[in-house]
Structures are given as C-alpha cells and as structure tokens.
A and B are shown apart, each in its own frame.
Chain A
Amino acid sequence: MIGLAGCGGDGGGDTDTPTPEQTEADDDVLGDDTPTDTPTPTPEPPETDTPERLGDTLVGPEGEQVTLQLVYATGTGTTETQMQLVQQLYGQVGINVELTGTQFNSMLANYAQNKTEDMSQDDATFNAGTRDESTSAREWDLMGGIGFNSYPRTPPTIRSFWADERKAGATTNFYGYRPSTEVAPLIDEAASATDPDVTQENLAQVFGILSEDQPVNFMTFSTVISGFRNDVSGFTEEDVGPSFGFDDQTWYFGNDASVGGTYITGDSTGATTLNHIQISDQPSANRVALTMDGAYTLNNENEVVPRWVEDYDVKDGQQTYEFFLRDNLQWGADFGQMTADDWVYWIQEVHQAEDNWAGDTNQSNYFRNEEPIPVEKTGDLSFEFQLSEPDPFFLQRPIMWGEYCMPQGLLEEYRDAENGGQGLNEDDRVQELAYTGNLGPYEFERWDRNSVFVATRNDEYYARNTVFDGDVPYFEEEQYQVFGEEATRLSALEAGDITTTGLPADDVQRFVDNDEITVVRTPDPFCGMLVYNQRANGWEQLRNQQVRQALSMAVNKVTIAEDILRGNARIAYTHQPEYSDWYDESQVTRFGGPDSHAIGGAQRMLDEALPDGYEFQ
C-alpha cells in the first residue's frame, strides 16, 4: 500500500491509500508486491446448498444465460484464485462469469475511470457524472483485486466511496452507487459532531446501511504479516496492533537494551525520492522516517504520542488546535533551531501554495471547502490551526500526525525561483537529508538506488532521555535493502542476512515453524472487495439491492479467508473491521459468512428480486 507524504512510516492505517487488494502481507510497511510464483489452487467450495437450488442456469429475458464480466487486478496469485472461486460459485448459482485479468493501473484507467459522451478521455475521472450518463471505456459488471482503506482512525474519510454518486465529494464512487438511505449527511454530521455519542451513532448507522445495501461485496480485511529474526527485542505480543512499530526506536538486539548491530529491513521496492514533499510511496516515506520523527505519532489506542510536538491544546469546541514544539529541535546544514516560523511558512508556502510550486503530493489535507485552513504563529515555538467548523478527528488526520517540515531558510531559496520545485529536489541538502539535524534517530549515510538505504545512529538525537528513557536508538545502523525477487528476500531472512521482512500469506507456515524467526500479524484496514458496477454499462440488475445481496450471499468468505488466504485475513461484512470502535454488531447485516444460505438462498433471493423474464432452468 502506499502512504501519503509526511506520515512518518509508522504503518498507521489511515495514512494509507487505496490500492490493489492487500492480501499477502504486501509491500506496505515491510512487505512485497511481487507476484507469487505459484498461485494457490482453487479450493473446493463447501457443500452448503441449503435451501434447495432452483436450477442450474439463470436465463435472462433474451433466453440466454446471464453472463457477467469480472475484471480483476493481476499481481497476486491469491487474487486470481479468489476470482476463480467467485466464478465457480456464481456458476453454481447459474450465472456465467467471464474473467479478465489486467494490471491495476489499466484496471483503474479502463474500467474505473468514467466520462460522459461529450467529455474527452483526458477528462475521465472516477465519478465524472451520474451513473446514467458517465461510463467507463470498457464494459464490466464485477471488479476484484481492489481494496479500499476503511480508515478506522478517521472514518468520515470513507465519504468519497459511499456518498450518492450525484453528490459533491463522491469522488471515488466509480461504480455508481446510490444508497438506500443517504449516508453523506450522517457522515458529515459525524465528522463535525462534538458529542462523541452522535459520532458513534451516525457511523454505526452508516456501516449498517452499507452492510445492508451491499454496494460492493465486502469480502475480507487482510493482515500484514512480518517475519523478524529472533534476536530482535523490545516488543511483545501486546504491542502488536494497528500502529505496531510506532516506538521502534526502543527496539534492540539481544537481551539487554544496549547499542549495537545493524537492523536490516527487506523491501520489495526501493525509494523514489527523499524529498518528502513529493513522496507518494511507502518505501520512500520509510527511509525518511529514519531521519525524522515528525510532529507526533499515534499508538495502537489511537492516542497522540509526542515527538517534536511536546504538547497540544484543543480549543473553541474542537475548532482550534494549538501545537507546542520542543525547544531542543535543531535543523542540520546550519539552519538553526526549529521554530513556529518554520512550520507556518511550511504549511502556507508549501502545503497551501496556490501554484503548488514544490509539487506537494499532500495538499488536499490542508484545505477545507477549497479554502486553506488558517494557520497562525502563537509564540516562538507554538502555532495553531483555526478550523471553520469543529473536527474531532483532526489529530488523527494526516495533517500534523507524522508531519515533517523543512527549514524556512531552505524553502525560501527556491520559493520564487524559476523551476524552484525541481531545484529543491536536486539540492544536496534534500538529496542527502542534511537538514534533518537532531530530528530523528538516525542520520543519512548513503542511498544506493535500487539496492540499499543506510542510516547511522544519530548521536545528537533530541528524543534521547526526553521522549524516551535510555540511550535510544539501540541499533548502530539501520538499512532498507531492496529485493526484486521474493524468493531471495525470504531466503535472506532465513539465512539471517536481513532482520525483518514481509511474508506472503500463502507461504507463512514455514516461517512459523522456523525457530529462528518470529512471525507478527498486524491488522490491516484495507478491505478486499468485489465491486458491483451500477453504472449504465454494467448489468442493469446490479442496481437492485436485493440482487447485490444475493450475489454477496453466494460468495463464501470463510473459504476465502481460511483456505485461500490460509487464515491470514478476517471476514468483512461492511466497510469497517470488527475491531474498530465504530463497528456496531447490532446494525450490521451479514452476507456470505459461515451462517450464509449460500447457493440455494442466493437463487431464491434472485428469483424474488429479478423482474419478469428472468428464470432458473
């Protein structure tokens, strides 16, 4: 998965953005997005055909079997296997499914992006118009191999997925979903409610509506699986959660917390840039995170954990957020102390710059209703954001959470220069993170592209004996080593040549059985799903809620979670994991779970929901 710039690489779910379905402990924090060499064989679906089936074939008004086009993103063997299972199960229902595998990029461009007849292809976007007017370049009915972040930290962020496709802000509703009950007002109210009960109630209702409506088949929440060499200490099972590793400065080798050793993370892709303004990928963010802590981080309980920001104040009914910087933060490259001036300049002249001269990939977070969020210096080391309306989720948004900064003096050199963004990009102080001073646990040592990023222990680390007790960090050196081939990466972990890496779900058992390796499973907020196309170029019956429910019922999620993903995923029923504070069991309708009536039940629902002309034969 790919994180937004400025989020300190803590692996926090909410900073990660939608991407191909994550089902193999992939690529995000530690993992890999290399295709698996041997796709998992399609398991036999369980015999759960009660009540009795109505026939073998669902025939449409034209007298031909109903055939659906299922497009899916290739890349992981398990995705292909899941789609084959869907094909088999729908086949049992009586529906023929034609599979088309394509790259994720192409899937988004050709099937998800849509446009109206009078628009050019360049103007195509993910919701370019109403579902009757705007359609994708290629026809499709079902889409798999895609996952949407459920944002359990900041659930109002899911609004763009589920708001009625005719509403403003439904920017990712490419499938043309119209909720049976409006969810946008509920989400909007939850986003600004100062009463936690209102937020709780509204969100629970939203997730209930989604589970009932089945705009997509919510299939599974994946798990990030990581393998560590056994000599890594400093964390226990209790530390495993959504923010696992947020305090990895305190990890060490052996039994005693003493300085020594090189900690090497095996990564499947390399960094693209160290200019954090332009970072849009997790590997790059991870490298920068070694040299800078960021404003603050969040722990597994979603609480603010101070880093550069020593304290914060929430005022005016959650409309004003003031932050107080520590007084021992020093830039490198002779830029002096980090002050509020640096932050205000950074936010106003980079994140909120109208011309986006620096190529900032994270600008949208610093605007509300297309207006920049006012930010003001309140002291030498303090500044505040003044929101136009309350936002109880502000601290959990990737605005100040994990946010980095740059010295004002450095930015001023390029702010008004011709091609200033590229100039800043090429500046040695940015290329070598020389300005990071004492702001992170490690200092940049070298970056061998497509090979290794090396950072050495920062002797001046500001957090030593302040934020953390003890002589942190305990590793002399940290490295990110890139591997183009998964087999080599896993072999390197087995051989002890690297310290940690992500493990594929279908090959995790041999590491569990290895006494020298500890396997850690971290919950992932991405929901793998099968999307139903409700636009004009999809099967028109997919606009019928009951038809979608029937199709969701037919797919046995237990088989997917337990057999295809080898127990490394949790079943999903709505766009929120069960561990989330916002998940309310009593409001969620379950389709496709262990108690599902599967094929026979799906057929009966379809029989009831489909108009005259459709019949089972």
Chain B
Amino acid sequence: MSMRSYVAKRLAWTGVVTVLVLTLYFVMLDMAPGGGETVFAFQAASSGGDPQAAEETFRQIRGLDRPLHVRYVDYMTGMLTGDWGWSTTRSQPVLDALAAAYPYSLQYALPSTIISIIIGYGIGLYSATHQYELGDYLGTFVAFFGISIPNFWFAIMAVLIFAVQAPDVTVLGAQLLPLPSFYQTGVVQQYGWVSWENARQLLAPVVVVSTASIAGNMRYSRAEALEYVHAEFVKTARAKGASNWRTLTRHILRPAMVPLMTIFIADILGLFFAGAFFVEVVFQIPGLAQLAFNAIINQDTALVMGTTLIPVFIFVIGNLLQDIAYTVLDPRIDYGDR
C-alpha cells in the first residue's frame, strides 16, 4: 500500500472515530442526571407552581422535549450542514460561541507555545551538552520549579502580587504595574488585539502557562539529546572538526527530533484548540477552556458536542501528522506495508 492509500485510510478512520465519539457524548449527556431540570422544578413547586409543568418548560427551553433519536438525527445532520446547534446557556449559535472564544485563548496560547518551545528546547539542549555543569543544574532547577508549582496557585499569586499589591511602575511612559486583576474584553474593543494595553493584561497568563510547558519541553529535549551526545557518530563528527553548533543541530538535534516531534506537533496543533482551564478561570479569560468546561457543567448539549468535535478531530489528525513527520525525519520509517 502506498503512502497515499495509507493516509486516505487513516483519514477515513478519522471520520468514523469522530462520529463514534460524538454519538457516545450525545447519549451520555442525555443520560447524565441533573442539568438543572430538578432544581428548576423544585423552584416552581416551592412558589406554588406545578413541578411537572416546570420540567416540561425546562425541557422545551433546552430543546430536550423531543425523543432522543429525533434529536440525534437532527443534530448529526446539522453538524454535516454547518449548523452546529444553539447554545442554550449562552443564547447564541455554537459556532459563534466557538468563534468568540477562540481568539481569547489563542492570544495567550500562541506566545506561550512559542516561548516554551524555544526556551524549553534551548535549555534542554544546552543542559544535555553541558551535563552536570552549573548551567545544567540551573536549567534543571527551572524545569522542576515549573513542573512543581501548581498553575492555579501561581496564577492567584500573580494576581495578588502584580495587581493588588504592586506599586505604580511605568516603562517609557507606559504603565506596566500594577497589572489588571483580571482580563477585560473591553480593552480589546477599545485598543484592539495587538496593543500594549492588551499585551499588559496577557503578561501574567503567558508567564504562568509558559512556566509549566517550558519545564516539560526542557526535560524531554534534554533526555532525548543526552542519548546522542555521546553517540559514536557524534564523536566522529567532532573528530572530523564539526563545530559545536553543527554538531548540535545536525548530529544531535535531528535524531532527537523524532521523539520530540510528538510533543512539538501536539504543541502546534494545540493552538487550534488551545486553553488552559485554570489560567482562564483565574484571569477570567473567556476562552475555549472555560467554554468547554462550562458547557459540560451546565449540560449544554450542543455546545459540549461542538467543543468536543474539534479536539477529537485535531487529536486524530495530529496522530496522523506525527506519523508522517517521522518518515520525513527518519527515512528508515516506512508505512508502505501497513
């Protein structure tokens, strides 16, 4: 089987997996208890109303007043035709909800990802080539600090220190501190996405998110690079007079990149459905992570399905891209017979 057939087959599986996951979610959400219906009925009953009529009203408002199979067929048809349904907890189309939330997540996820890849891999490679030296210990400390410190706590501390307690600090005439205590969407409305004011309120979220992911990238890249630092072919390259840079980039980084590609592609694809829940909650960023979480908590079926579909699709496609990337980086890998 050629590579093209392999990819086509995997893409077909992507569709099947996506439908299966969506179906599973749809049924599970319908079976899940709660959802506010009982509370709503109790409220009605306790003010003299009819609890059963209230339950009917609740189901009507939530679009749950038709049989499950009818709703399922409607929903899956809608998914194929671009109508992903209506979010009952946000009172807007699901696609609008996703489109509104995505930029808020991307604006902190993109810089965090770039920073964590560059700094994480950089420190990792440096640590590997300077094993057991001061720089290695320093890098390892940074990594363990980032892994150990809980994002949630770190974020709250950032708010308290840089927003509540910080003195006034201006840089080149622009105010730096105190930072805003929460993310204000009005700043984007007033100054635009790319503005100093918006960057200022993203400073703390980016630092918090980066800290954790730098650590992961650093430890992985250090471990992978260490496998090759003392390899025979690296020694040979050095013996032939290759510079440190050339040795690092051509003879250590390239073979190390095969396993690192798994993380790298995951990072990049993550940008298409990014979101760090705790960071979004603490800094009150109305991004995708909060959107997905609230959808589940409030049992907003259409929104749950929408926020599920994209990561499932990205996950399956991401796996495929990783497999293909391996063949590019290491010609010995071939899927021709699979």
**Residues on A close to B: CB < 8 A?**
2, 4, 17-19, 103-106, 108-110, 112-113, 125-126, 148-149, 157, 159-161, 169, 171-172, 272-275, 278, 280, 356, 359-361, 363-365, 421-422, 425-426, 431, 446, 448-452, 454, 479, 481-485, 487-488, 491-492, 494-495, 497
Contacts and interface: CB of A to CB of B under 8 A. Distances in A.
Interface stretch (B139-147, B156-164, B225-233, B256-264): B156-164
B90 interface: yes
Contacts of A484: 280-282, 284, 290
Given A125-B51, A495-B164, A452 B89 contact: no
Contacts of B42: 17-18, 108, 112, 126, 172
Interface of B: 33-36, 38-54, 56-57, 60-61, 63, 86, 88-92, 97, 100, 156, 159-160, 163-164, 178, 180-186, 189, 280-284, 286, 290-291, 294
Contacts of A112: 38, 42
B91 A431 contact: yes
Nearest to A103: B34
B286 A448 contact: yes
A113 B47 CA distance: 17
Contact of B46 (A17, A491, A495): A17
A451 B39 contact: no
Contact of A425 (B49, B91, B163): B91
A364 B47 contact: yes
A561 to B, nearest CB: 24
Prevailing SS type, chain B contact patch: helix
Nearest to A151: B47
Given A19-B39, A421-B60, A449-B100, A171 B283 contact: no
Contacts of B163: 491, 495, 497
A449 B92 contact: yes
Contacts, number: 172
B159 to A, nearest CB: 5
A160 B46 contact: yes
B86 A487 contact: no
Contacts of B186: 452, 454, 479
A157 B48 contact: yes
Contacts of B178: 495
Contact of B61 (A361, A363, A426, A491): A361
A129 to B, nearest CB: 14
Which among B42, B53, B164, B185 has the highest number of chain A CB atoms within 10 Å?
A: B42
A356 B57 contact: yes
Given A426-B86, A492-B181, A160 B45 contact: yes
A452 B97 CA distance: 14
A103 B50 CA distance: 23
B45 A452 contact: no
A148 B38 contact: no
Given A356-B57, A485-B281, A364 B290 contact: no
Given A108-B39, A359-B60, A422-B86, A161 B290 contact: no
A356 B58 CA distance: 11
Contact of A275 (B50, B91, B286): B91
19 contacts: A17-B43, A105-B33, A108-B42, A126-B41, A159-B48, A160-B48, A171-B45, A363-B49, A364-B50, A364-B54, A421-B60, A425-B91, A449-B90, A449-B286, A451-B284, A454-B186, A483-B182, A487-B282, A491-B160
